[in-house]
Amino acid sequence: KNQVEQSPQSLIILEGKNCTLQCNYTVSPFSNLRWYKQDTGRGPVSLTIMTFSENTKSNGRYTATLDADTKQSSLHITASQLSDSASYICVVSVNKLIFGAGTRLAVHP
């Protein structure tokens, strides 16, 4: 079983709508939890980094939350844009990075 599980695997939303991506992890404790955005044909780019003690971190229209009790993190995207179409990867950092398989988001006009 993967130590970092993401859901859903894929998601289609209309431009302007909000969405929330989920990440469940079994690794504990950890140094930090990150969300990366990966555009098609590109490498992952960091969106947010949260330490074990942080509950929320925002980066523009992206807001990540962390619940250490339930071992869950979520990434909320507000007022989606076509450029948000990408894969979003949850990564937990211990002495190495443990990557989730990602959620593929498609934003349609």
Partner 1 sequence: NAGVTQTPKFQVLKTGQSMTLQCAQDMNHNSMYWYRQDPGMGLRLIYYSASEGTTDKGEVPNGYNVSRLNKREFSLRLESAAPSQTSVYFCASSEEGGVNEQFFGPGTRLTVL
| Residues making contact with partner 1 (CB under 8 A) | 2, 4, 9, 31-32, 34, 41-46, 49, 89, 93-102
- By C-beta, is 35 or 107 nearer to partner 1? 35
Longest dimension (CA), the chain: 41
DSSP state for residue 3 in the 8-state scheme: S
- By C-beta, is 80 or 100 nearer to partner 1? 100
Strand partners, 108: 14
- By C-beta, is 47 or 80 nearer to partner 1? 47
Instruction: Report, in Å, the least distance between residue 74 CB and partner 1.
Output: 18
Q: Which two tokens stand for residue 26?
A: 């079994």
- CA pair distance 34, 101, nearest whole angstrom: 13
- CA pair distance 68, 47, nearest whole angstrom: 20
DSSP state for residue 70 in the 8-state scheme: T
Instruction: Report, in Å, the least distance between residue 7 CB and partner 1.
Output: 13
The angle subtended at Cα 49 by Cα 31 and Cα 104, nearest 5°, is 115
Instruction: Report, in Å, the least distance between residue 38 CB and partner 1.
Output: 8
- By C-beta, is 42 or 61 nearer to partner 1? 42
Instruction: Report, in Å, the least distance between residue 99 CB and partner 1.
Output: 3
